[in-house]
Chain A
Amino acid sequence: MAYSFSTLIQKRGVLPGFSLTLGFSVLYLCLIVLIPLSATFLKAAPLGFQGFWDVITQPRVLASYRLTFGASLAAATINAFFGLLVAWVLVRYDFFGKKLIDALVDLPFALPTAVAGIALATLYSSKGWVGHLLAHYGIKIAYTPLGVVVALTFIGLPFVVRTIQPILEDFETELEEAAASLGANRWQTFSRVIFPALAPALLTGFALAFARAVGEYGSVIFIAGNIPMVSEITPLLIITKLEQYDYAGATALAVSMLVVSFTLLLTINALQRWAHLRKF
């Protein structure tokens, strides 16, 4: 036993502090993250599979899944397109205030979600600056599923930009010059030389934005209207169940979301490894 333990932590190098730092890290990780997460899965066990299935297939729950995943997908797609565009403009063009814009891209990371929520709700309500313009054309955003998409687009905005940017910055100018020297026009160079190189990063950014959107709560609830079956997202439904003391229901929903989150995490890890390999 002693032997297997020493081979398990066999280490290279003689710097001090290995046992202390690794021991503390693992202990802290267990206490704050792993034990509470496992406890949640255990809490769902008494439901049994049938009970679990019944909870997560209730019509109201299914409607919330449709909205959560649909809006997240829409928002991630919007972000993939505009994120690529913003990254391109920030890396390739010079304009006044570029540094400021570049720094502002991270605003959704830094701005508390509740603040983003009330700001977006106000801005896109039928009386808001943007909302009243759109109201002319009969488009309602706040308090509809469209509002959910807007909020999720906001919080996912930095992901695509920040994954594309470094790839675009390091992109070898010679490749573009080679394409041009071979007679490719600008669009051909972009679509056949530059875009394929960006694709893994773009996909990673898309997945990151999607994963973040699926779990988002704070920025959505103010703008969504939260009408059951129409504009109620799954995280909100968990809170609703909790407020009704339906702990089993809340746990079942939480477990279903955790499974999705972990799957997404693994997918993103695989994507990042792929993107990394493609770089060389």
Chain B
Amino acid sequence: MSISIHNIQKSFGSFRALSNVNLQIEGGELVALLGPSGCGKTTLLRIIAGLETPDAGQILFEGEDATERDVRDRGVGFVFQHYALFRHMTVFENIAFGLRVRPKSLRPKEAEIQQRVHQLLELVQLDFLANRYPPQLSGGQRQRIALARALAVEPKVLLLDEPFGALDAKVRKELRRWLRRLHDELHVTSVFVTHDQEEALEVADRVVVLNHGKVEQIGSPEDVYDHPATPFVYQFLGDVNLFHGRVQEGHARIGEAEVALPLGTQSHESAIFFARPHEIDILRESPGASALSATILDIRPLGATVRIELDREDGQGLIEVEMVRDHYQRIALKEGEAVYLQPKRLRVFGEHELQES
């Protein structure tokens, strides 16, 4: 089922949780709502579910206005951040709940309920837990039961609020791959909320980056990572180096250095440049005016890559560079060595663009 969100606004007292949010979610998509805490992502999810009413705006399900539709009639499945499993019911009863509370005429027969619940338990690979109570389960197990419970009512949309937030790092990684596979199997339109960029990039088909109740960017994981629309997105998705300078005649002037920019870049008296740690080359020999000189402070091998911290000669702060291990071993850098930094790619934001966000 497709979901269209038009001009949604929501305030809590004087706090603006969402201002003018527009979003189109296609049927069968897996979309991540990504942003820092307090950015309004959970509120947006709850508004889609019908657990919160927007102050203004419209929600369409499959082209039909669902803004005023009751939660119970929306056909959504919701997985809560802390799972909200009914703690006095067994795992089996938790999953069966949505079927049992249906009006008599729509309620499946007991045998059907049994069969359906066991199917779901098999789907989440936890059939052996049917008679346990939620407090007896591990975090990862609770999470999967919560998902099975939400799927029991055959929702047309699956909504997940920080589905992996309460889990430890290892279980989290396993579960998000599992969720991705599950989605590929079921193809139910899914939206999940997360503050973890890695999670969003790894699991989602499309990522919606939110900040201060506004949509910053919507795009595929590659899109938002490689072509961030705003400085916020740039900084929120991964590590970044920041340079102050100006843009003149298609060149970035940062201190003494002068780096060529893509054709058609506008001139700015004052601008900010971003480069990710892996987008900067370290050179022994000066390539001319296009490099900044710096001293190596610290070298840290991190598995397949090496992170190098450098101090700019002009005293304008620290720079982080990441390179693959092979390359590092080939050029054999040492701490304390004076080198030249050449950005392979720079993203430019004029000062006025910064004030907007």
Q: Do any CB atoms of chain A lie under 8 A from CB atoms of chain B in the complex?
A: yes
Chain A residues with CB under 8 Å of chain B are 12-14
Contact mask for chain B residues 80-113; partner A; CB cutoff 8 A; 1 contact, 0 none: 0000000000000000000000000000000000
B318 at the interface (CB under 8 A from A): no
Q: Which residue of A lies closest to B50 (CB)?
A: A14
Q: Which residue of A lies closest to B51 (CB)?
A: A14
- Residues on the B chain within 8 Å of A12, using CB: 12, 52
- Residues on the A chain within 8 Å of B71, using CB: 14
Contact mask for chain B residues 32-73; partner A; CB cutoff 8 A; 1 contact, 0 none: 000000000000000000111100000000000000001100
Chain B residues with CB under 8 Å of chain A are 12, 50-53, 70-71
A-B pairs with lowest CB-CB distance, top 4: A14-B51, A14-B71, A14-B50, A14-B53
- Residues on the A chain within 8 Å of B51, using CB: 13-14
10 A-B pairs (CB sep. < 8 Å)? A12-B12, A12-B52, A13-B51, A13-B52, A14-B50, A14-B51, A14-B52, A14-B53, A14-B70, A14-B71
- Residues on the B chain within 8 Å of A13, using CB: 51-52
Q: Which residue of A lies closest to B70 (CB)?
A: A14
- Residues on the B chain within 8 Å of A14, using CB: 50-53, 70-71
Known contacts A12-B12, A14-B51; 8 additional CB pairs below 8 A are: A12-B52, A13-B51, A13-B52, A14-B50, A14-B52, A14-B53, A14-B70, A14-B71
- Complex CA gap A13/B52 in Å reads 6
- Complex CA gap A13/B70 in Å reads 12
- Complex CA gap A14/B12 in Å reads 15
Q: How far is the CB of B9 from chain A (nearest CB, A)?
A: 15
- Complex CA gap A13/B53 in Å reads 8
Q: Which residue of B lies closest to A10 (CB)?
A: B13
- Complex CA gap A14/B70 in Å reads 9
Q: How far is the CB of A242 from chain B (nearest CB, A)?
A: 50
- Complex CA gap A12/B52 in Å reads 7
- Residues on the A chain within 8 Å of B52, using CB: 12-14
- Residues on the A chain within 8 Å of B12, using CB: 12
- Residues on the A chain within 8 Å of B53, using CB: 14
Q: How far is the CB of A80 from chain B (nearest CB, A)?
A: 40
Q: How far is the CB of A196 from chain B (nearest CB, A)?
A: 36
Q: Which residue of B lies closest to A11 (CB)?
A: B53
